[in-house]
Chain A
């Protein structure tokens, strides 16, 4: 039974999840673009394109002076995202899977580095969740989707770490749970704010384009 479950999540399940993710995300992004925007008739003082691309990159680094709560959010958020991508992109097993699907791969990072990245990322996520409960601004802003997407992002990290360490369950069970958690993330991402993994760059471009048009160096 466990073997069958694993086979399903590794095969059909993963195919369905990937298809939903790709089609859903492409549709979501196209839907944004299709709403369009009016071209400004004012005389440009600079370039929308260069302003847009500049902000796409520069907004990865917050330069505005922030309060302690703001700095905490930026630092914890950075650790979570970096840890997530390091474990996702540089664990040897993940690279093997990518190579099997895409036909190419890249060198893996040592397990020790992956372990540290995973622990830091999990820790940062827990800290961010606690902060969401106790910080008055975040608590007021938060809705069901914020907690749902936190859970969906947290589960692959947690089950992945447990799998590497074989904590709690047998290897096959943990592997099944890990892959299933990733599939859940893939299936739901296009329909929730997890779509920010792509839409962020569109948002940054539009923001930067307005400034670029006006010749504002931000």
Chain B
């Protein structure tokens, strides 16, 4: 047995806790989870059945923790986990799972399958079986500070544009601000208009906020690849910056996995509770709305729909807030079938979008999203995750669909009431 395989197996066994033991003990191989997974529904290939993606881990659980497994080992009917098995499972664990968590909602015995996939990835990384694309993104995040290779200079350039467009100052490294805003790589690189949008909204709502030069990047490839050590280092930069600036809140950007990394996994990764609270930008905007600090004027009559990012809704519990905001400005807002906690993934979450090998499969399974979109025939899709946004744009382009995609924060900023200073002309 190679050292990397031994590492992988030890890590996988180490990941097995009471929830996982209860899940594997309960699975009756009913196959219902297949119906919840877009990689199965769009290909009808049984290998994409969610629980099957965990087969090496299940075998290890059985061999290590059950009487049956020990008995099978004694009589020579046990099948050890090999390097070949892990190599075969790598595309199943990474390319065909976006960690969307839909399977965890359907399992009749209650198995939280995505909880297990997240942990299985820890073992895959330890055994050296992770996709090159994700390895590269994680390496850039560790060495350069961002999975897309962006740095503070890139951000400063975008800030200059935002300041020129809005006539407002974008606060940087302001000690004692209430809120510290974090951005995602995709926002800085592809959707920098978010910087101007939040600057104007916070100006109107009189929010005390700042960006941090040493903690501006929320995208966490460590979570996606399944390396808690690296994920801790990435999230640790934000924690360090927030503590340095003594902020009360850190605002998670429009990025699903950044929210999961910051809000739910972060304290466990660094091994202590935060001295600040984490709030998603959409949660904050809705709070500002309900307290009367966020005021909009005019509406957009376009037929719009809202795409729920999995990590925000099903795995994050931010369900009503985006709808409250949509209703402020979009009178013709329509819901897709399965909207809300049952929404279908864009196909690119959980590191799939950074994994080039997965692209043909990702493009194929977009047909599920297309079916949802076709049902409502909206002219504009609004979302609150920059990765979903890119995936939607890509999918729409591939299907030659003439549909616009925008971020919810920008939509709100476009309709800020006149009394807002710095309103773009």
Q: Which residues of A contact B (CB under 8 A)?
A: 28, 31-38, 40-43, 45-46, 55-56, 59-60, 62, 64-67, 69-70, 73-74, 77, 135-143, 145-146, 149, 191-193, 195-196, 199-208, 210-211, 214-218
Contacts and interface: CB of A to CB of B under 8 A. Distances in A.
Nearest to A43: B277
B63 interface: no
Contact of B46 (A62, A74, A140): A140
B16 interface: yes
Contacts of B68: 145, 191-192
Give me the 8 closest cross-chain CB pairs, A-B, nearest first.
A204-B110, A41-B267, A206-B19, A137-B31, A216-B317, A199-B25, A203-B110, A141-B29
Contacts of A64: 35-36, 102, 105-106, 342
Contacts of B47: 140
Contacts of B102: 64
19 contacts: A32-B18, A36-B18, A42-B264, A59-B109, A64-B36, A137-B46, A138-B31, A140-B47, A140-B52, A141-B29, A141-B46, A193-B27, A196-B25, A196-B109, A199-B25, A199-B26, A201-B110, A210-B115, A214-B317
Nearest to A214: B317
Interface in B82-125: 102, 104-112, 115
A200 B19 contact: no
Given A193-B25, A216-B341, A67 B264 contact: no
Given A67-B41, A196-B28, A203-B110, A38 B268 contact: yes
Interface residues of B, number: 63
Interface of B: 16-23, 25-32, 34-36, 40-41, 44, 46-47, 49, 51-52, 65-68, 71, 102, 104-112, 115, 263-268, 271-274, 277-278, 314-317, 319, 338, 341-342
A212 B28 CA distance: 25
Contacts, number: 181
B22 A199 contact: yes
B29 A77 contact: no
Contacts of B342: 64-65
A102 B100 CA distance: 48
A207 B18 contact: no
Contacts of B44: 136
B264 to A, nearest CB: 5
Nearest to A145: B68
Given A203-B22, A204-B110, 12 more contacts: A33-B18, A35-B20, A42-B263, A43-B277, A45-B317, A64-B105, A70-B34, A73-B31, A193-B28, A200-B26, A206-B110, A215-B317
Nearest to A215: B317
Contacts of A137: 31, 34, 40, 46, 49
A41 B273 CA distance: 5
